[in-house]
Amino acid sequence: MDWSPENCSIARTLGLLGEKWTLVILRDVFGGIRRFNDLIEYSGVPRQVLTNRLSVLVEEGILRRDSYQEPGSRARPEYRLTEKGLDTYRILIALREWGDRYVADPEGPPLEHLHRDCGAPVTLTVRCAEGHEIHDPREVVGRPGPGAVRRSAKAASGTK
């Protein structure tokens, strides 16, 4: 049971999205905020960090640099989600759901995700390929998958 965590999808995803401001930026881009200064204002990200994160996100193909032009101004860049970026919405919904349950103010959640077509609130459901719906985290077990790599012998001590 000694599996190397180096190629874990969770770790890798966190490597891309896990830095302090990245998901906050994505949240706001999902909310339609696409311009540098607006992002600074909304997210509260320091300029330097925003520059940095945006360029990483563009490099990784999560955002794409587009351009817009307000009449009477020069063209400026604007940042939009790619497919890869749009697909992070499940992560954001999962974070919001957990937050609503455990850290929201008594007045209720400050942000809702709604279904565009019917206006009903959106939630995540955990389900297995057999169609069973899962409500208890204890019903889920983690297992090394096909891409798992045994860790080098050296580390195989200390684990009881």
Q: Which residues bind DNA (CB under 7 A)?
A: 19-21, 35-38, 44-49, 51-52, 54, 72-78, 158
Minimum gap (Å) between residue 95 Cβ and DNA = 18
Minimum gap (Å) between residue 47 Cβ and DNA = 4
CA distance 62 to 92: 14
Torsional sign, CA 116, 41, 12, 66 = positive
Residue (67 or 125) nearer to DNA, CB: 67
CA distance 91 to 96: 9
Identify what 92 binds: a second copy, DNA, none; CB under 5 to 8 Å per kind: a second copy
The helix or strand, by DSSP H or E, that contains position 133, with its residue range, turns out to be: strand 133-134
Identify what 74 binds: DNA, a second copy, none; CB under 5 to 8 Å per kind: DNA
Residue (52 or 82) nearer to DNA, CB: 52
Tokens 């990200």, residue located: 45
Pick from 75, 79, 30, 70: which is nearest to 50 by CA? 79
Residues 72, 75, 129, 152: which binds a second copy (CB under 8 A)? Answer: 129
Would you give the end-to-end CA distance of the chain in angstroms?
A: 11
150 contacts a second copy (rule: CB under 8 A): no
117 contacts a second copy (rule: CB under 8 A): yes
Minimum gap (Å) between residue 57 Cβ and DNA = 12
135 contacts a second copy (rule: CB under 8 A): no
CA distance 80 to 54: 10
